Structure 1
Amino acid sequence: MPSPEEASTSATPPPSFKSLGLIDPLLEAIENLKYKTPTEIQAEALPHALAGRDIIGVASTGSGKTAAFALPVLQRLWEEPKSLFACVMAPTRELAYQISQQFEALGSAIGVRSVVLVGGINETEQAIALAKRPHIVVATPGRLHWHLENTKGFSLRGLKFLILDEADRLLDLDFGPVIDKILKIIPKDRTTYLYSATMTTKVAKLQRASLSNPVRVEVSSKYSTVSTLLQYYLFIPLSQKDVHLIYLANSLAQNSMMIFTRTVHDAQRLSIILRSLGFPAVPLHGQLSQSQRLGALAKFKSGGRKVLVATDVASRGLDIPSVDIVINFDIPTHSKDYIHRVGRTARAGRSGKSITLVTQYDVELIQRIEAVIEKKMELWPTDKEEVALLRERAEEAGRLAAAELRDQAAAGGKKRRRDKGGGADDRDRDDDEVEAGMPVMKKGKR
Structure 2
Amino acid sequence: ECLWVTGVLCEACDLLGWKRPTKIQVEAIPVALEGRDVIGLAETGSGKTGAFALPILQSLLSHPQRLHTLVLTPTRELAFQIGEQFEALGSTIGVKTAVIVGGIDMMSQALVLAKKPHVVIATPGRLVDHLENTKGFNLRALKFLVMDEADRILNMDFESEVDKILKVIPRDRRTFLFSATMTKKVQKLQRAALKDPVKCAVSTKYATVDKLQQYYIFIPAKYKDCYLVSILNELAGNSFIVFCGTCNNAQRVALLLRNLGITAVPLHGQMSQSKRLGALNKFKSKSRSVLLATDVASRGLDIPHVDCVINFDIPTHSKDYIHRVGRTARAGRSGKSITFVTQYDVELFQRIEALIGKKLPAFPTQEEEVMMLVERVNEAQRFARIEMKEQGEKRKRPRGGEDDGDDAEQSSGVRKKVKGGRFRGGKGGGFRRGR
TM bin (shorter chain): over 0.9
User: SS at the partner of 2:380?
Assistant: helix
Q: Which residue number corresponds to residue 436 of structure 1?
A: 410
Structure 1 position 217, deviation (Å) = 0.4
User: SS at the partner of 1:194?
Assistant: strand
Aligned residue runs from structure 1 range 417-436, under 5 A: 417-418=398-399, 423=400, 426-427=402-403, 434-436=408-410
Whether 1:408 and 2:395 are equivalent positions in the alignment is no
Aligned residue runs from structure 1 range 303-322, under 5 A: 303-322=286-305
Aligned residue runs from structure 1 range 23-62, under 5 A: 23-62=6-45
Whether 1:115 and 2:89 are equivalent positions in the alignment is no
> Retained in 2: the 8 A contact 1:228–1:349?
yes
Q: Deviations over 1:262-290 (max 9, x none)?
A: 01111000000001101010000000000
Structure 1 position 331, deviation (Å) = 0.7
Partner amino acid, structure 1, of 2:263: P
> Retained in 2: the 8 A contact 1:278–1:440?
no
> Retained in 2: the 8 A contact 1:41–1:65?
yes
Q: Partners in 2 of 1:37 and 1:120 — Cα distance?
A: 37
Q: Which residue number corresponds to residue 159 of structure 1?
A: 142
Structure 1 position 440, deviation (Å) = 5.7
Q: Which residue number corresponds to residue 344 of structure 2?
A: 361
Partner amino acid, structure 2, of 1:180: D
Q: Partners in 1 of 2:375 and 2:54 — Cα distance?
A: 55
Whether 1:130 and 2:113 are equivalent positions in the alignment is yes
Partner amino acid, structure 2, of 1:436: Q
Q: Partners in 2 of 1:435 and 1:97 — Cα distance?
A: 23
> Retained in 1: the 8 A contact 2:251–2:408?
no
Q: Which residue number corresponds to residue 230 of structure 2?
A: 247
Give the length in aligned residue pairs: 415
User: SS at the partner of 2:84?
Assistant: helix
User: SS at the partner of 2:373?
Assistant: helix
Whether 1:323 and 2:297 are equivalent positions in the alignment is no
Q: Partners in 2 of 1:154 and 1:222 — Cα distance?
A: 41
Partner amino acid, structure 1, of 2:73: A
| Equivalent residue in structure 2 for 1:106, among 76, 82, 89 | 89
Whether 1:223 and 2:206 are equivalent positions in the alignment is yes
| Equivalent residue in structure 1 for 2:277, among 294, 314, 317 | 294
Q: Partners in 1 of 2:210 and 2:411 — Cα distance?
A: 43
Q: Partners in 2 of 1:207 and 1:269 — Cα distance?
A: 41
Structure 1 position 382, deviation (Å) = 1.1
Q: Deviations over 1:150-183 (max 9, x none)?
A: 1111000010000000000001100011100110
* TM value normalised by structure 2: 0.94
Between 194-203 and 125-134, report the one with greater CA deviation.
125-134
Q: Partners in 2 of 1:253 and 1:279 — Cα distance?
A: 10
Structure 1 position 345, deviation (Å) = 0.6
Whether 1:394 and 2:377 are equivalent positions in the alignment is yes
Q: Partners in 1 of 2:153 and 2:298 — Cα distance?
A: 14
> Retained in 1: the 8 A contact 2:309–2:338?
yes
Whether 1:184 and 2:167 are equivalent positions in the alignment is yes
Q: Which residue number corresponds to residue 139 of structure 1?
A: 122
Q: Partners in 1 of 2:192 and 2:119 — Cα distance?
A: 23
User: SS at the partner of 2:372?
Assistant: helix
Structure 1 position 437, deviation (Å) = 3.5
Q: Partners in 1 of 2:222 and 2:297 — Cα distance?
A: 26
Aligned residue runs from structure 1 range 62-81, under 5 A: 62-81=45-64
Structure 1 position 117, deviation (Å) = 0.5
Q: Which residue number corresponds to residue 3 of structure 1?
A: none
| Equivalent residue in structure 1 for 2:77, among 86, 90, 94 | 94
Q: Partners in 2 of 1:59 and 1:388 — Cα distance?
A: 43
| Equivalent residue in structure 2 for 1:256, among 227, 239, 250 | 239
Q: Partners in 1 of 2:59 and 2:243 — Cα distance?
A: 40
User: SS at the partner of 1:137?
Assistant: strand
Structure 1 position 68, deviation (Å) = 0.3
CA-based RMSD: 1.2
Whether 1:376 and 2:350 are equivalent positions in the alignment is no
Aligned residue runs from structure 1 range 206-221, under 5 A: 206-221=189-204
Q: Partners in 2 of 1:403 and 1:68 — Cα distance?
A: 48
Partner amino acid, structure 1, of 2:220: P
Whether 1:265 and 2:248 are equivalent positions in the alignment is yes
Partner amino acid, structure 1, of 2:329: A
User: SS at the partner of 1:242?
Assistant: helix
* TM value normalised by structure 1: 0.91
> Retained in 2: the 8 A contact 1:275–1:440?
no
Q: Partners in 1 of 2:75 and 2:59 — Cα distance?
A: 27
Change (3 A) 1:430 1:331: closer
Partner amino acid, structure 2, of 1:273: L
- Aligned sequence identity (%): 61
User: SS at the partner of 1:128?
Assistant: helix
Partner amino acid, structure 1, of 2:139: L
Partner amino acid, structure 2, of 1:332: P
Change (3 A) 1:365 1:437: closer
